[in-house]
Chains A and B, each alone.
Chain A
Amino acid sequence: MGRMLLCGLGLLAIPPAIAASWSFGDKITVAQTSKPRTFHHVESSGRKNIAVSGDTVGVIWEDNRSGVPQVYVAFKPIQSSAFESPWRASDAPPRAHTLAAYEPVIVALGGGRFLMGWEQSSGVWVRSGGPQGLDPAVKLGSAEAGQITLATGARGTYAAWTQPHGRHRQIVVAPITLRGPGKAVRAGAARPVDPAPPADEQLYPTLAVTTKGVTVAWEDRRHGHTVLLTSFAEHGKAFAAATELNEVVQKSTTYGRGSGVTRATLAVFGADQVGAAWMDKRNFSTAYDIYGAISRDGGRRFGKNEMVQDSFGENFSQWHPAISGAADGTLAVAWDDDRDGSSDIQLSWRTADGWSEDLAVPPASGPGEQVHPAVALDSRGNLHLIWLDYLEKGQPTRIFYVMGKRTEAR
């Protein structure tokens, strides 16, 4: 009885970080170093650097602890208070330790298994795996391929990346066949989303897979400025003609034409709905804002653009949006901005009335710089968040993780 009382008092003494609508646990270190000139990076095309597969959390990042940027992945059971020792994922090509690897991505395959991708040695690589080990890696795409992203759903798994076609980079998509533990995945034919030769750069793809098909969004410079385009294909069929995702706000008929958009990210939520978020400079006096759009038809078409962050946040520059969705209908976007003097991780989620007020995630805000978030919602609607943390520019970097639970009725 006395022990139970002590235990209860102990729990009261260390309350979880409570924020309106979400309750966050303690932050957990994913990766850190005291080694000088070592830098962690949480970056990928579509910002998919964390995933939850069954009861396992997987985090993927790049750091140069060995002297050369390499990709590392670490896992932990959801209930565990620590991540296991990381695996070096980028170990496939000969002399891999000398070949810089960048922009890794991870998605959940279910049952505690994951699919990972990254860029290395003038190509993009994928491999499956989990806490028990990593399966053989496979190189995809032509020479100079890069900016890989992955997505999976009940009816298929896909990879998208950029590779040169003539003078410009082009987005290609390939289906991925999973073959189980110990075996390398197989990639189907990589097909350009737009069959016409690129008239200008196509960059930074992001994918969403619904039961109806696969949606890809990317940055496209064909019109003399950057627009976000999306295209949809039913599973096994060709992509439809691209349509514009962002509403272009023309600022001048004389000087330039683009309102400025970059780094789109997609996620499936609810019953085959797709959410999109991106950085948007249409209001140039307040730098980048986070805008978004929703598709309610499985990813074929998106509705009107919506400002994701709240009106107070509009006065500051937002960076690095990451989006995740859950089958229960939760859709959340995280980003960083410095409205409180230094960069913090902000969160907004979709409500019946639109996007919520912004929430500075308690364990990911305060003194120092908290930047580069990535998010994953699990099947219960819990939020899993990682971010990069450092005290000052040039100081050692760390990657932290925290889990949040919804406390309000949905």
Chain B
Amino acid sequence: MKMRNQRLRRALPLFAILCMTLLPVANGRADPPAGYTFLRYDEGLRIAKRDGKRVFAYFGRYGCGFCDKTNKESFSNAEIRKLYTEHYVLVYVDAESGRRLQLPSGETITELELGAMMKTLVTPYFLYLEPDGQVIHKVPGFQTVQAFLDFDRYIHGGHYKKQTLSQFLGK
């Protein structure tokens, strides 16, 4: 009996973590995908500048179906997780949120206003940024695993400096 209780006690934290991971998906919410460390936009930009690393910005929306689809079908891919975690500072913006961010210019705006300023018309909306916050590439809507792999080769390989995405992909 005591042994069973000990096993149960050991299993409970694991069960709690599993629930925390799965609940947002079960609710159909569009939080950042599980298994990634997404930061606030302003925090991510500070780290990117400090480390000279490019930024991958995910503009999502609470209850957004295509964000949910992207999380489940693309960000669940182990290769995407590895490449994007290694190559970018990951930031997540709730595009309808009133949470305040401080931009590099010193201006304080809400996450919704950041979306308006960046003209992120739909969610999900993905932005690849230079370490100083300059926009390199914008990608609206659901993207497949292959598309995310192509974007990563294009951005991380620095090809965007000389070619358009279509030229790079040979289209």
Q: Say yes or no: B122 contacts A37, CB within 8 Å.
A: no
Give the CA-CA distance A224 to B96 in the complex, in Å.
14
Q: Say yes or no: B105 contacts A260, CB within 8 Å.
A: no
Interface residues of A, dominant DSSP? loop
Q: Say yes or no: A317 contacts B121, CB within 8 Å.
A: yes
Taking CB atoms, residues of chain B closer than 8 Å to A102 are 100, 108
Q: Say yes or no: A257 contacts B65, CB within 8 Å.
A: yes
Selected contact of A39 from candidates B66, B69, B107, B122, CB within 8 Å:
B107
What residue in chain A is nearest B65 (Cβ atoms)?
A256
B63 within 8 A of A: yes
The distance from the CB of A293 to the nearest CB of chain B, in whole angstroms, is 19
A221 within 8 A of B: yes
Taking CB atoms, residues of chain A closer than 8 Å to B166 are none
Taking CB atoms, residues of chain A closer than 8 Å to B35 are none
Q: Say yes or no: B117 contacts A252, CB within 8 Å.
A: no
Listed stretches B10-18, B23-31, B46-54, B154-162; interface member: B23-31
Taking CB atoms, residues of chain A closer than 8 Å to B67 are 256
| Residues of B bordering A, CB below 8 Å | 27-30, 61-69, 72, 96, 98, 100, 105-110, 112-113, 116-117, 119, 121-123
Given A100-B108, A224-B27, A225-B28, A260:B61 Cβ within 8 A: yes
Give the CA-CA distance A285 to B106 in the complex, in Å.
33
A319 within 8 A of B: yes
Taking CB atoms, residues of chain B closer than 8 Å to A338 are 119
Taking CB atoms, residues of chain A closer than 8 Å to B61 are 226, 258, 260, 281
0 or 1 for each of A339-352: is its CB under 8 Å from B? (1 = yes): 00000000000000
A400 within 8 A of B: no
Q: Say yes or no: B108 contacts A256, CB within 8 Å.
A: no
0 or 1 for each of A278-292: is its CB under 8 Å from B? (1 = yes): 000100110110000
Given A255-B68, A256-B68, A287-B122, A226:B98 Cβ within 8 A: no
Taking CB atoms, residues of chain B closer than 8 Å to A263 are 112
A262 within 8 A of B: yes
Selected contact of A287 from candidates B28, B96, B121, CB within 8 Å:
B121
What residue in chain A is nearest B113 (Cβ atoms)?
A43
13 CB contacts below 8 A, A to B, read A39-B106, A219-B96, A221-B62, A224-B28, A225-B29, A225-B62, A225-B64, A226-B61, A226-B96, A256-B30, A256-B68, A257-B65, A258-B62
Taking CB atoms, residues of chain A closer than 8 Å to B98 are 146-147, 203-204
Q: Say yes or no: B64 contacts A37, CB within 8 Å.
A: no
Q: Say yes or no: A224 contacts B65, CB within 8 Å.
A: no
Give the CA-CA distance A102 to B123 in the complex, in Å.
27
Taking CB atoms, residues of chain B closer than 8 Å to A257 are 28, 63, 65
Q: Say yes or no: A225 contacts B122, CB within 8 Å.
A: no
The distance from the CB of B136 to the nearest CB of chain A, in whole angstroms, is 16
The distance from the CB of A286 to the nearest CB of chain B, in whole angstroms, is 8
Give the CA-CA distance A262 to B64 in the complex, in Å.
13
What residue in chain A is nearest B120 (Cβ atoms)?
A287
Give the CA-CA distance A43 to B107 in the complex, in Å.
14
What residue in chain A is nearest B26 (Cβ atoms)?
A224
Closest 9 CB pairs of A and B: A225-B63, A258-B63, A256-B65, A287-B121, A255-B65, A255-B68, A224-B27, A255-B69, A256-B68
Q: How many residues of A contact B (CB 8 A)?
A: 40
A237 within 8 A of B: no
Selected contact of A252 from candidates B65, B106, B108, CB within 8 Å:
B65
The distance from the CB of A331 to the nearest CB of chain B, in whole angstroms, is 25
Give the CA-CA distance A319 to B115 in the complex, in Å.
11
Taking CB atoms, residues of chain A closer than 8 Å to B106 are 37, 39, 64
Selected contact of B105 from candidates A281, A287, A394, CB within 8 Å:
A394
The distance from the CB of A162 to the nearest CB of chain B, in whole angstroms, is 9
Taking CB atoms, residues of chain B closer than 8 Å to A317 are 119, 121
A113 within 8 A of B: no
What residue in chain B is nearest A67 (Cβ atoms)?
B106
Give the CA-CA distance A147 to B122 in the complex, in Å.
25
Give the CA-CA distance A371 to B113 in the complex, in Å.
11
Give the CA-CA distance A371 to B112 in the complex, in Å.
14
A251 within 8 A of B: yes
A69 within 8 A of B: yes
Give the CA-CA distance A288 to B112 in the complex, in Å.
12
Taking CB atoms, residues of chain B closer than 8 Å to A204 are 98
Q: Say yes or no: B62 contacts A226, CB within 8 Å.
A: yes
Give the CA-CA distance A100 to B109 in the complex, in Å.
12
The distance from the CB of A36 to the nearest CB of chain B, in whole angstroms, is 9
Taking CB atoms, residues of chain A closer than 8 Å to B108 are 39, 64, 69, 100, 102
Taking CB atoms, residues of chain B closer than 8 Å to A41 are 109
What residue in chain A is nearest B109 (Cβ atoms)?
A41
What residue in chain B is nearest A225 (Cβ atoms)?
B63
Give the CA-CA distance A338 to B122 in the complex, in Å.
15
Taking CB atoms, residues of chain A closer than 8 Å to B121 are 287-288, 317
Q: Say yes or no: A262 contacts B65, CB within 8 Å.
A: no
A95 within 8 A of B: no
